[in-house]
Chain A
Amino acid sequence: MSFCLETYLQQSDDYKFLANQAGFKDCAMIIRFKSDEIINVKPGQEVLGVRLIGIPPIPIGIKDDGKRVLIPYTKPCHGTSVIELPIDEEEIEKIRKLA
């Protein structure tokens, strides 16, 4: 079964917000600054089960030897957040194929 970010955020506590209710550009900068590797994707592409909202190119950050991912997450009333959560190699490969 493929990963779904929204379900994961409801059912797990192994994630953290590195930014909350911020602007997209600031969140993109945080992701670029705090990650070991960046994979750029296009707006609307599906990553971790959600279509990503943002300004192109949307950075997806990989850190801790590929064990954790940083992604932007935007809601109309709450702005953009940066979420850090665990990821497995299979999901990283799916993201790489989007780039």
Chain B
Amino acid sequence: MKKALILLGCPEVPSQTPMAIYASYKLSKLGYDVSIAANPAATKLVTVSDPENYYVKNLIDLDNCLNDVGEGDFDLLVGFVHKDAAASFFVTFYHILQTKSLALVFEKDPELLKEYVDIVEENTDAEIVAVRAFHNPTPIRVRFDKALERL
């Protein structure tokens, strides 16, 4: 079974948690064994949102994942890039895993959005989905679905 890793950033962006659960659902439907790596704050939001692990089967600590993961461990990396630190984490996991990757870049400020896209574009060969978004996950979801069709 193919394995996918969804990499979450800081959870203060409202659309991250619903999109994480949606991405886990969609990738599972496509036959992936999905893991979500998140820090404790983001983990709590996912856990409360999916209390019976219906959509999220495997939630792992970001620091442990970073320490343990290596090249070839996953067939797909999906990263949420909505902060400078999230861009750094995505680029780092991309370089460690050396696998097919998709960056979901979203921000309400167009200048910051471009900055994060540039970071990902200049330092990876990842597919990039970029959209102005903050509260509303729909623009991200629509573009994520299209990106999955291309993958």
Contacts and interface: CB of A to CB of B under 8 A. Distances in A.
Nearest to A44: B96
Which 5 residue pairs spanning A and B have beta carbons closest together? A43-B92, A44-B96, A77-B10, A23-B84, A43-B95
Contacts, number: 66
Interface residues of B, number: 26
B82 to A, nearest CB: 10
Interface stretch (A12-20, A30-38, A47-55, A90-98): A47-55
Given A24-B84, A43-B96, A79-B83, A55 B67 contact: no
Interface residues of A, number: 18
A97 to B, nearest CB: 18
B15 interface: no
A43 B84 contact: no
B44 to A, nearest CB: 12
B147 interface: no
A78 B10 CA distance: 9
B67 A51 contact: yes
A76 B91 contact: no
Interface in A42-80: 42-44, 51-56, 74-80
B86 to A, nearest CB: 6
B91 A56 contact: yes
A79 B84 contact: yes
A28 to B, nearest CB: 10
Nearest to A75: B85
Nearest to A23: B84
Interface string B10-53: 11100000000000000000000000000101100000000000
A55 B93 CA distance: 11
Contact of A55 (B11, B12, B119): B119
Contacts of A24: 84-85, 87-88
A42 B119 CA distance: 15
B136 interface: no
